[in-house]
Every structure is written in structure tokens, then in C-alpha cells.
Amino acid sequence: MRAPLRWVLWDVKDTLLKVRTSVGEQYCREAERMGLSLSPVEVDAAFRQAYRHYSSRYPNYGITQGLNGKTWWMGVVRDTLSQCRVQEPALLNTAAHNLYHHFSNAENWEVFPDSKQALESCSSLGLKLGVVSNFDNRLEAILRGCGLLSHFSFLITSEEAGVAKPSPAIFDQALQKCGEPADSVAHIGDHYVKDYLTSRSVGIHGFLLDRHNMHNQPDIPQEH
């Protein structure tokens, strides 16, 4: 007999909220405040390259290599702008510092129209809610600013946990906080491997949120 559901865990980025405008546009606005004129398309391409490089060389914000979320993101910004011919170290450092704090603000994030209702519906059913997210330690401030923080009993970020999805260890930490067996816990997220497969690998009821009808894996039952 299946255990009753007690908890629902949530991914955050691209599940409950998303970046409001493109990274290229936001970086260009910061550059403009410093007297620089850059192309959002060029900056977006440079950002994708810098992000891939840092994610590969320093996974999970470089926690095991002596970095943290802030130093990691500032490195990504400096690398991005350097590719766009910004070379002055003082400008790069100022832009990196400003943009790191800029993305802590709620106005740079857009909550999906159905997010609050979904969280409220879960709470009304007596379910407790938590967050398991590959995110840095700005997440609490972002959720507070977006009016979502009060819905959650706990947050686990990959920076704080020291491990990131798709490592099952981050879900093991979440289960410890839930204090319930995996069969009493569900997880909802937008990534097939990091959210759906990894949560199910530890016995959690994983559900895939497919906002853009992009997933067609044959192993996902329709009810998931």
C-alpha cells in the first residue's frame, strides 16, 4: 500500500519563475550605465560560452575548488564582457559586482502565472513544501522578493548543500529535512534528468513540468 503524500519539493528556475529579460539585455544595460555600448546578441552568445566553460571547469559554483556563488558568477560576467572587448579590469570588476547584486532583486525575475496558485493549492491540501534547486545562496532573497518564500518550510540550494542535481545526494539531504520516507515525497521540476530521473532514483515521486511541450521521452508516463 502506497504511503500518503506529505511533502512536495520544488525546483525554482524555469519551474516557478524565470529571468525576466535576456541576460544579454541586462548585461548591456549595466554596460550602458558605465558608458559602454554593447550588442545584446553578442553578449548573449558570449555569456553562453562563458557559462558553459565555468560550469565545466568549476561545477556547482566551484565549491570544492575554493570558489563560491559570488566569485563564480563574477568570473562568468568578467569572462563574458572580456569576449565583447571590454578589457579595463576596474570596469569588469564593477560590472561583475553590480550584476551579481542586480540578479538578487525580484524585478529581474518573473513568476509564472500559475506558480502561486499551485503552491497555495498544495498547502490547502495539507502538504508541506520545500525547495531543491541548483542555485546559489541568493535564492532566499529572490523568493522573498517574489512573494514565494513563505510557502516553503525549507530551501536547499546546491551552493549550500555542496552537491548539485543530478547527484542524488541533494535529494537525500532534502529527505532528511522532510523527516519522511521517500514514498511520502514528490518533486516537481522542468529538467528530465536533474529533476525527474534523479528524484525518482531515490524513491521520490518525480513529476516533470513541461511548460513548452519539449519533452517526448517514451519512458515518462502521461500522468508524470
Residue range 112-146, pLDDT digits in tens: 999 999 999 999 999 999 999 999 999 999 999 99
Give the dihedral of Cα atoms 64, 61, 99, 86; nearest 10 deg.
80
Give the burial class of 32: count Cβ atoms within 10 A of its Cβ; 0-12 exposed, 13-18 middle, 19 or more buried: exposed
What is the pTM assigned to this prediction?
0.94
Report pLDDT for 1.
Answer: 55
The residue whose grid cell reads 525527474 is 196
Q: Which residues of the chain have pLDDT under 50?
A: none
Quote the cell numbers at residue 118: 499551485
Report pLDDT for 67.
Answer: 97
Report pLDDT for 215.
Answer: 79
